[in-house]
Amino acid sequence: MPLAYGFIDYGGPDVQRFLDVPAPEPRQGEVLVEVRAAGVNPVDWKVRAGMHRAFLPLSLPAILGREVAGTVVGTGPGVTGLAAGDAVFGSTVGGSGGYAELAVLPADRAARMPDGLSFTDAAALPIAAGTAYEGLATLAPAAGRTLLILGAGGGVGAVAAQLAAMDGVRVVGTASGAKRAFVESLGATAVAYDHDGVGDRLRELLPGGADTVLDLVGGDALHGVAGVLTAGTRVLTVAAEETAARFGARPLSRTGDPGTLSALAELVAAGKLDPCVRRVFPLAAAAEALALVEDGHVTGKVVLDVTTS
């Protein structure tokens, strides 16, 4: 049986373990992939904790992980355009996790990997980078205007900062003081949220207010930057619906469009975009990798290399 890591019940890290599960089989419109690398994301531990069970029901035990890169080894009925041997990446189907040697992807949402893109970098793109790309498409910050990113040091924020700066947008990003150098390497001006005077510093940098805001922190983060939000500021947020409504914000979401993934892959392959993979663990150390992400202070992206033990 293929090696897989997941959880046997909803709860904390104590319910995680390697699972003895049969190899998945691709159904209509799906492809079976031999996983070479899998992305590790905050959504993974939230799924394990049961936070998403209302809209993502799972049969337990379940495999962790939602984004992979690998090689097609089988196709389900109705699949055209992809065949065994093709290198692809994308988000797994519901119920098929990515922390495994084999995973299932929807064929119509699996993107081909261009030459020059590594499996490790490809596995970092579907969720975090895809969310960043589509979030910026919605906000549409114009060249010369300002974008404030709350939580610029994480996987989504790091890609969003680079993409916006690439388009001539002036980017200001909040992050912990320890991530200042990292955030500024992305082309953004860093503001430490764990230091006093954050509001004053933001008003100093953005005296006319922020044109656009990408809130990747949620909670009360928007309250803390209210001083640079104007009637014309466009805001996307991961905050709760009530908070979003209070600030006239729209929810941040991701479609999984393979066109988005292909565009990102080409940028990375061309050396124009850094997916910011900063830690790579073998599948055998999946618990350690997820713990690092769950702690909430990781810089950039964490990826599992499924080909190493």
Mean pLDDT of 204-233: 91
Which domains are assigned to the chain? 4-124+276-305 (3.90.180.10), 128-251 (3.90.180.10)
Statement: residue 224 has pLDDT above 90: no
- The DSSP string of 37-69 is EEEE-HHHHHHHTTTTTTTS--PSSEE--SEEE
Q: What is the tens place of the pLDDT at every residue in 67-121?
A: 999 999 999 999 999 999 999 999 998 778 999 999 999 999 899 999 999 999 9
Q: What is the tens place of the pLDDT at every residue in 26-41?
A: 999 999 999 999 999 9
Nearest to 172 by CA among 197, 193, 196: 193
Contacts 24+ apart (CB under 8 A), 190-199: 190/152, 193/150, 193/224, 198/174, 198/224, 198/225, 199/224, 199/225, 199/227
- The DSSP string of 66-120 is SEEEEEEEEE-TT--S--TT-EEEEEPPTT--SSBSEEEEEGGGPEEPPTT--HH
Q: What is the tens place of the pLDDT at every residue in 251-296?
A: 988 877 888 999 999 999 999 999 999 899 999 999 999 999 998 7
Statement: residue 309 has pLDDT above 70: no
How confident is the model at residue 281, as a pLDDT?
A: 97
How confident is the model at residue 93, as a pLDDT?
A: 86
Mean pLDDT of 221-242: 90
As a whole number of angstroms, the distance between CA 264 and CA 255 comes to 14
Geometric angle at alpha carbon 50, from 104 and 159, rounded to 5°? 60
Mean pLDDT of 145-171: 94
How confident is the model at residue 54, as a pLDDT?
A: 79
How confident is the model at residue 239, as a pLDDT?
A: 87
Task: List the structure tokens of 71.
Answer: 């090689």
How confident is the model at residue 203, as a pLDDT?
A: 92
